[in-house]
Amino acid sequence: MRTLLRFFVIVSALALLLSVLCPWVDPERLYFLGIFGVLHPWLLLLNALLLIGLLLLKSKSYWIPLTCLFLSLPGLGAYMQASTFAKAESLSTSIMSYNIGGLHYRDEASKSKLLDLIKAGDIDILALQECRQQLKDRITAARLFPYQHQQSIRGPVIFSKHEILAEGEIPFSSKVNACIWVDLDVHGQRTRLYNVHLRSAHISQDADALISGEVNSNKDAVDQGQRILRKFFGSSRVRSQEAKRIKIHADKLDIPSIIVGDLNETPKSYVYRLLSQNRIDSFKERGNGFGFSYRGKIPGLRIDYVFLPEGSNCLKHELFDWEYSDHAPLYTEWEWSAEDK
C-alpha cells in the first residue's frame, strides 16, 4: 500500500513539474506537454491534498509534493490575486474584452440587456470576439462609439471612443479565429490595440457530454476523451503559429501596444508567455479572487486576457459575472505612467 501511495505521489509531482515547464516548450516541437499546463490548477490542488495526507500519515515522502508546490509558487499569481483598485492620477482609459459567442444562442431580451450593460459601463474601448453582424449592427445603431473596425461577418470587432488612426488584420486561416488591430489616439499617445481570438479547439460539446455523463459506455467515454485530446493537440500547434505572427508584428512597432482577447490558452502555456512578454497582465496587477474566465462546464480555465504596455499603470481589473456567454467579460482601467505623460 505504501509503495503504491509513493508511486502515486511521484507521478502527481512529476505532472505538476511538467505543467510548470509548459510555458517554455513550443507545442510545435512537443505538442502533448500542453495538456499538463491546462491541468495546472488541479495538479496544484492534488499535490496540496497529498501533502496534507502525507503529513497526517507522518510519511517521509511529504517532501516530494512540498518541493513541487514550492517551485510552483511564482506562477500562482496568474490564477489567484488579492489586489485592490487604484485611483487615477491622470486621464484613464477603460477597455472591455468579451467573447460573446454564446450570446447568439440566447433570446432577444438577453441581447438587449447586454447592450444596456455596455451603455452603463462607460467603456472607452470595446473588443468583442465571435461577434456576429446582427449584434455589431445593434451596437453601431446605439451610437455608443464613434469609431469601429471589423474584418469579417462573424469574428473580432473593435469599438472605440478614441479616434482610429489606422487599422488592419493579421491573417489567420479562419475568419472566426482572427486578429485585427487599430492604432488609437489615446490621450495624445498613438497606441496599437490587437483584438485576438486564437484557434479554438472545439472541444466544449465533447467535454460537456463527458462531464455530464451523457456517453453510453466506457468505450464511448474513452473514444470521447481521445477525440478531445486530438483536437486539443492539433489546435495548440496552430495557436503557437498564430501567436508567433502576432509577436513578430508587434515587435516591429515603435509605439506602445495592447493585446486583448481570447487566447484559448491558460497562463501555463507557451502562447501566454510569448504574448505577455514585456507587457502587464491586468489580472496579475489588479485582479481579485480567481481569474478563471471560461464559464462552460470545463472548470478552472483562465483563457481571456488584457495585456497592457510596459510603462502604463493598471488601475482596475474586473471579471464580470454576466451569464450571456460561456466566457466572462474582462474590464480594465489604466493610465499612462508619469514618465510617459
State the chain's mean pLDDT as an integer: 90
| CA–CA dist 244, 260 (Å, integer) | 15
What per-residue confidence (pLDDT) applies to 260? 98
pLDDT at 331 over 80: yes
What pLDDT was estimated at residue 258?
Answer: 98
Taking alpha carbons only, the member of 128, 135, 138, 192 closest to residue 162 is: 192
Give CA–CA dist 72/51, Å, rounded.
Answer: 14
Helix or strand or coil: residue 122?
coil
Q: What is the pLDDT of residue 42?
A: 96
Summarised one tens digit per residue, pLDDT across range 139-160 is 999 899 999 999 876 789 999 9
**CA separation for the pair 151, 182 (Å, rounded):** 12
Q: What are the residues facing 80 on neighbouring strands? A: 290
Q: What is the DSSP letter of 323?
A: T
What does the longest C-alpha to C-alpha distance in the chain come to?
68
Instruction: Find the mean pLDDT for residues 120-140.
Output: 90
Q: Is a pLDDT exceeding 90 seen at residue 222? A: no
Question: Grid coordinates standing for 63?
Answer: 517532501
* Predicted local distance difference test score (pLDDT) of residue 295: 87
Report pLDDT for 206. 65
pLDDT higher than 90, residue 230: no
Overall average pLDDT of the 201-213 stretch = 66
Alpha carbon separation from 162 to 159, 175, 188, 195 (Å, rounded):
9, 25, 10, 15
pLDDT > 60? residue 341: no
Using 50, 70 and 90 to split pLDDT, how confident is the model at 326?
Answer: confident
Q: Where in the chain is the domain with CATH 3.60.10.10?
A: 81-202+229-340
Which distant-in-sequence residues (6+ apart) come within 8 Å of 48 by Cβ?
65, 69
pLDDT band at 211 (very low <50, low <70, confident <90, very high): low
Q: Which of 133, 60, 132, 124 has the alpha carbon at shortest distance from 92?
A: 124
Beta bridge pairs of residue 257: 192
Quote the pTM value: 0.92
Calculate mean pLDDT across residues 221-242. Answer: 86
Residue 291, pLDDT > 70, answer yes
The residue among 1 and 96 whose pLDDT is bigger is 96
pLDDT band at residue 229 under the 50/70/90 scheme = confident
Grid coordinates belonging to 62: 511529504
pLDDT over threshold 60, residue 207: yes
Considering the chain, what percentage of its residues have pLDDT values greater than 90? 66
CATH of 81-202+229-340, one of 1.10.8.50, 3.60.10.10, 3.90.1300.10, 2.60.120.260: 3.60.10.10
What integer pLDDT is reported at residue 121 of this predicted model? 79
Each residue of 70-85: pLDDT tens digit? 999 999 999 999 999 9
State residue 313 phi and psi, 5-degree precision: -110, 120
Per-residue pLDDT band at 338 (split at 50, 70, 90): low
pLDDT-based confidence at 225, cuts 50/70/90? Answer: confident
